[in-house]
A and B are shown apart, each in its own frame.
Chain A
């Protein structure tokens, strides 16, 4: 397994995520199970932004759920910061956001962001201060006392992202968080996520359908294929540090070149040249 040899000037901490020989079979009717993942191995460094991309049914969301310990693997091991995924979940080592914002509609924006802190016993004043900090961070300054039904889809998703960041996790798991947004909101959210990530230095595992989104945001893109879910390729992006990921990048030549590389890998073209590494 390539441990990404070129992992440049990063603090030499343990990897954020270490997936070794993982398979996941969902029990189906009449005993015939559905193989969602088969013998997948992947290592994600601390502070690294990795996108999982592939067609529906390639197991990318399943993989995220295994890292989050929302599901258990059928075989193999998933470690997060050197601990079993279950322990990492119990230790609250990650924050998570889904395609749906999943806000509690009876709570205000601030109360929604405070939820994880509240569950983990933080004091009222500390909770409020931290929530206000995040409300500012995601640009929802005036909306702290609003309820989710008073916000647009993009704003709700910002609240969900703020909630995932509220405990300053070193790992952020995101399952198509911008999937339900319109293209313009989506690009703006991507730019903001790049900024947030630069500010927090967290590792991110990002599931997406969108090639440009994956290329724009990621240090590495993991290309997956379905039936059974496997990793086809690992592609380095390295389009500059997070601070340099501005909208100008979207029109950069390297950006288009990387987009083509991912597309070719996705479509299984043998032509796919470049520095893509074989997964296995």
Chain B
């Protein structure tokens, strides 16, 4: 068994076979048990809708994805700056720690109605801001942790080299924090997509995925609603995959020596 598991094609093929099996069981159950589409449409119906409405799904996905992406970038940049400031000024860190911790447990999408009142529901501002706020927290905490991670031995070395604090920052602290930062970005990417999508459910004439799912459900087109859900899943996977690639590149050769 272990010999088979170590073969690469088995590792790639096995989940695909499992996935197809699940889809087949799903379709079989929907047909055999006569499950109504409003309960659960079969994968073939969903796939058909997805195929037929591909341009709509893509369009909706792009609108939501753009909000998520802008939010992710704003949140990430803001969090990195905030973490750098907090790491260099301990007082500020101690002052802000409770606020940031509190922010991390707030379901940020619940701010949507309030932000819509502030910025207007028809502008994307509020949804971008929600994605940015959601992205901020994991990036901030991970980066701060990374900046604090400088190994004692590296600090000793920098001191023995009579390195200035700026030199130590550039040679040891910043490169050491990079993998932590990208781990934060990876976590934030999924949160940004989810937040941007859910925020659409609080109103506004948006053609994003969140709105599209709600609209399809209210017009009883359940397979189409599920097709948009599939679009949301794919959008989330793209964000996750892209940031995972960044993270992997940043952590290459990072096993501490």
Contacts and interface: CB of A to CB of B under 8 A. Distances in A.
Do A and B bind?
A: yes
Contacts of A106: 175, 178, 253-254
B154 to A, nearest CB: 6
A226 interface: no
B26 to A, nearest CB: 44
B163 A68 contact: no
Given A70-B160, A96-B160, A100-B153, A105 B171 contact: no
B159 interface: yes
B160 A119 contact: no
Contacts of A68: 160
5 contacts: A101-B257, A104-B154, A105-B253, A106-B175, A149-B257
A239 interface: no
Interface in B159-175: 159-163, 167, 171-172, 175
A119 B153 contact: no
Contacts of A102: 151, 153-154, 156-157, 257
Contacts of A115: 161, 171
Contacts of A105: 253-257
Contacts, number: 60
B254 A149 contact: yes
Interface in A81-108: 89-90, 92, 94, 96, 98, 100-106
B43 to A, nearest CB: 43
Nearest to B164: A119
Contacts of B178: 106
Contacts of B160: 68-70, 89, 94, 96
A151 to B, nearest CB: 7
A120 interface: yes
A147 interface: yes
Nearest to A173: B160
A68 B159 CA distance: 9
A170 B157 CA distance: 18
Nearest to B159: A70
Interface in A59-73: 68-70
Interface residues of B, number: 20
Given A70-B156, A120-B161, A151 B257 contact: yes
Contact of A90 (B154, B162, B167, B257): B162
Nearest to B172: A104
Contacts of B157: 96, 102
A148 B161 contact: no
Contacts of B154: 102, 104
Contacts of A116: 161
A218 interface: no
A104 B161 contact: no
| Nearest 4 CB-CB pairings of A with B | A148-B257, A147-B253, A149-B255, A102-B153
The CB with the most chain A CB atoms within 10 A, among B151, B256, B257, is that of B257
A119 B154 CA distance: 14
Nearest to A115: B171
A89 B157 CA distance: 11
A116 B175 CA distance: 17
Contacts of B159: 69-70, 89
Given A70-B156, A102-B154, A104-B175, A119 B167 contact: yes
A148 B253 CA distance: 7
Interface in B199-257: 253-257
Given A102-B151, A102-B153, A119-B167, A149 B253 contact: yes
B257 A89 contact: no
A172 to B, nearest CB: 12
A225 interface: no
Contacts of A90: 162
A109 to B, nearest CB: 10
A156 B257 contact: yes
Contacts of B172: 104
Nearest to B256: A105
A221 B220 CA distance: 88
The CB with the most chain A CB atoms within 10 A, among B154, B163, B175, B253, is that of B253
A148 B256 CA distance: 8
Contacts of A118: 171
A199 B59 CA distance: 71
Interface string B93-104: 000000000000
B169 to A, nearest CB: 12
